[in-house]
Copies of this chain bind each other. A is one copy, B any other.
Amino acid sequence: MRISQPFGSRATMSETALPQATPTQVALTHGADFHEEPKTLVEGAYQRLRRDIIEGVHAPGEKLRVEHLKERYDVGAGTLREALLLLVTDALVVAQGQRGFRVAPISIADFEDITRTRVLLETEALRQSIACGGEDWEAGVVAAFHRLSRAEQRLADHDVGTTQEWEIRNRAFHEALIAASGSRWIRHFQHILYQQSERYRRISLFRQPIARDIHAEHQALFEATMARDATRATSILTEHILRTLDAVKRMPADFFTNRSMR
């Protein structure tokens, strides 16, 4: 992609043009992303571990003992340690020197923080995308919205095994919206925060099915974006993201208990 264009107009930012990105630009998110072919055992273990943490296989706060996990993931101790270290980058695992690793704990305050920071970054990125996005970006948004719509239709019809698919396409849609933002750093941080919120969403939706018309929200967001109405689009996006926060807030309090295990 390697897009680099001027930022969207905000009162606080000086209006100087950004130069083109250098050819040596490198992806900020490290190699082993979702659904990318793992090139090494470390990346493979990293991907599987990440999925398991996000899906709640390893409970929040749980201790991750290398000697036990090397069986499950079928790699050596050193390799598993490296995978764990990679997960520290995503803040899904916390490492304490000489005391090993554990799954990052969850709390309602943390999710609130994640959500609001995500709003801050994602609306800014959307503003930039709407201001600078070209035809390629538009096409990407249209395609992602189409795929998401199909998944949501299928979800409404027969809801078996399609949530995984929906999750992937929902993420793709949100990333397509901000793909033209020009700020690799905002996209990078957004990526991390989205991943974090996905963890909360997965474990919460598991117990309490969604009761809102998400498709309508996406539709409105899509239309405002294509109409290049930055004010309306960011407003809808904000409400959209905050609504998930409200849903999670209504979860029983014991949902946020972390596994201590000494």
Contact = CB atoms under 8 A, between A and B. Distances in A.
Given A88-B30, A238-B12, A19 B109 contact: yes
A212 interface: no
A19 B27 CA distance: 36
A1 interface: no
A62 to B, nearest CB: 12
Nearest to A27: B94
A110 interface: yes
A113 B183 contact: yes
Contacts of A234: 12
Q: Which of A40, A85, A86 has the most CB of B within 10 A?
A: A85
A200 interface: no
A207 interface: no
Contacts of A188: 91
A31 B104 CA distance: 14
A114 interface: yes
A40 B4 contact: no
Interface stretch (A66-74, A119-127, A149-157): A119-127
A242 interface: yes
Interface residues of A, number: 68
B18 A112 contact: yes
Contact of A242 (B14, B89, B258): B14
A22 B26 CA distance: 37
A256 interface: yes
13 contacts: A18-B113, A21-B107, A22-B110, A22-B256, A22-B258, A31-B96, A31-B97, A40-B98, A42-B97, A89-B89, A114-B185, A120-B124, A189-B189
Given A19-B108, A120-B121, 12 more contacts: A4-B109, A7-B116, A18-B109, A18-B112, A20-B109, A22-B110, A24-B105, A25-B110, A78-B78, A110-B184, A113-B185, A189-B189
Which 10 A-B pairs have CB atoms at the shortest separation, nearest pair first? A39-B97, A22-B107, A85-B85, A117-B185, A89-B89, A21-B109, A24-B105, A40-B97, A4-B109, A31-B97
